Amino acid sequence: MLNKNGLKFSVGDLSAGLVVFLVALPLCLGIALASGAPLFAGLIAGVCGGIIVGLLSGSALGVSGPAAGLTVIVFNAIQDLGTYESFLLAVFIGGAIQLIFGAIGAGKIAFFFPSSVIKGMLSAIGILIILKQIPHLFGVDQDPEGEDNFFQPDGENTISELFNVGGFFEPAAVIIGLTCMAILIFWDGKWIKGNKILSLIPGPLLVVFIAIFVNQLFSSDFSLKGDHLVKIPVSQSFKEFAGFFTFPDWQKITNPAIWKTGLIIAIIASLETLLCVEATDKLDPEIRITPPNRELFAQGAGNMFSGLIGGIPLTQVVVRSSANIQAGGKSKFSAIFHGVLLLISVYFIPDLLNRIPLSALAAILILVGYKLAKPSLFKQMRSEGQDQLIPFLVTIIAILLTNLLTGIFIGLGVGLAYVIYTNFRSSISVNRDGKAMMMRFNKDVFFYNRAELMNWLAKLSKGDTLYVDGSKAKFIDHDIFLTLEEFLEEAPKRGVEVFLKDVTRKKINFLKDNEVISKTLVGK
């Protein structure tokens, strides 16, 4: 089917939107809790990310909402600014700055991240999801859903929390979680996919209803309650529901601290969005490319609207986007539909949603995480060579031990170091035949190649002949020219004869007493 803009959408988008809704619901609440914001603020951001950003974005499969990468910034900003209303003004300003980023073309920064780092980010998120959700699968729910830092608000860390499973697990959560996981694995198999009727039923939706039913069958002493279930604010009337919304304090518009916070939110949210855009596009089966500047504009509009009505900042998010892709989403309508479902559910059926066990949602997310970090990807990266494998692994480890953005930049640094190292090793090649040394500049030669050049020049002795061929180099750094000039002055004293080909100071002319020293290397 086509909409009036010519965009394809299908019934699959509706089922995918439903799956994303089930994944997004606890994440919105958990991220709001970890951020020190009202729980309803996370739901507002999820609705704005689905509907506002979904309508304006050029991303076919990206899903936006509150992001775990901003939790520390949000938590500190709320404390520093004094009131939540002041913080909302900063969110609105941050969205406006993102609009400017989109207008000036800042989205092009997305193309500067190596694929090894992006793949490392995807795998790290997959592993992180699994590690963070295992405790929830067993009913250890002290750490809020959606929290992705190594050091957790409850005093534990990602690894130590796993050891709590043995001592604090809930038997009902274990039964529900493992049952849901078994059903999901079975539902993802060939037998179900080959059945025209059963394949129409989304596995996550099925296990959610089974989890609610099973939990209701348990006795009151055994069943899951309280923190082990989804928690959505419940209103008894429209007036009470409207009271959940909060609005910015416009009187603080001249406060420099608010503008500073808005700028920080805009920069971090934009970077996280662009990284997720790149990662989501790599997962897209149809290999579509998201316009990055349009995405910044859409995110800016979403954050402005979220800040206006009481929501926390939002970005495009890999977990929800990958869940969308794995659930069969084909167009942006799945993201929009998930936002509509969030809006409808929090008003009409909060009591039903508050019966969903977190262990069932953990089972859904663990399967999402596995598909992001499949062992086959590690084998692929290993086969592509050390320069791809090392940044990939470093990115994974850094994200697991810190957080998403810090890990990404550590991985990027290692990736750039490998680029420099690879260029360093391959820019200059040397062949020695008796007293003759042939030195070739295979490509552009930069200042960091100077040490290697000086090392080779130091090996020349009396009676040697040096041939330097720069015909393949489009650029030769000034420091390289200075090093060669100094050697040319010393060469006669050392008894070394030098011949240069295409190494001139346009690529520079080596002139001495108005005489061209460089000679053409013929037949070498």
Give the CA count within 13 Å in the CB-facing half-sphere of 484: 30
Task: Produce one character per residue of 475-507: b if its CB has 16 or more CB atoms within 10 Å, e if not.
Answer: ebbeebbebbbebbeebeeeebebbbbbbbeeb
* The dihedral sign for the CA sequence 253, 78, 302, 269: positive
| Total Cβ atoms within 10 A of residue 523 | 3
CB 360 within 8 A of CB 207: yes
Using DSSP's 3-state secondary structure scheme, residue 5 falls into: coil
Q: Find out if CATH 3.30.750.24 is the number for domain 434-516.
A: yes
pLDDT in tens, 165-185: 877 889 999 999 999 999 999
Q: Is 318 exposed, middle or buried (0-12, 13-18, 19+ CB in 10 A)?
A: buried
Q: What is the pLDDT of residue 146?
A: 62
Contacts of 118 (CB under 8 A, 6+ apart): 275, 278, 279, 282
pLDDT in tens, 243-293: 889 999 999 999 999 999 999 999 989 988 998 898 899 889 888 989 999
Dig out the tokens for 332 from the structure.
Answer: 């942006």
pLDDT in tens, 422-461: 666 668 889 998 899 999 998 788 887 888 889 899 999 9
Taking the domains of the chain in order of start, what are their residue ranges? 11-170+225-352, 376-423, 434-516
Residue 511 predicted with pLDDT over 60: no
Rounded to whole angstroms, how far apart are CA atoms 319 and 280?
Answer: 10
Match 């090894």 to its residue by tokens.
Answer: 116
Spatial CA neighbour of 120 closest among 413, 425, 421 = 413
Beta strands in 266-340 (DSSP E): 314-317
Spatial CA neighbour of 457 closest among 423, 482, 477, 478 = 482
CB 324 within 8 A of CB 335: yes
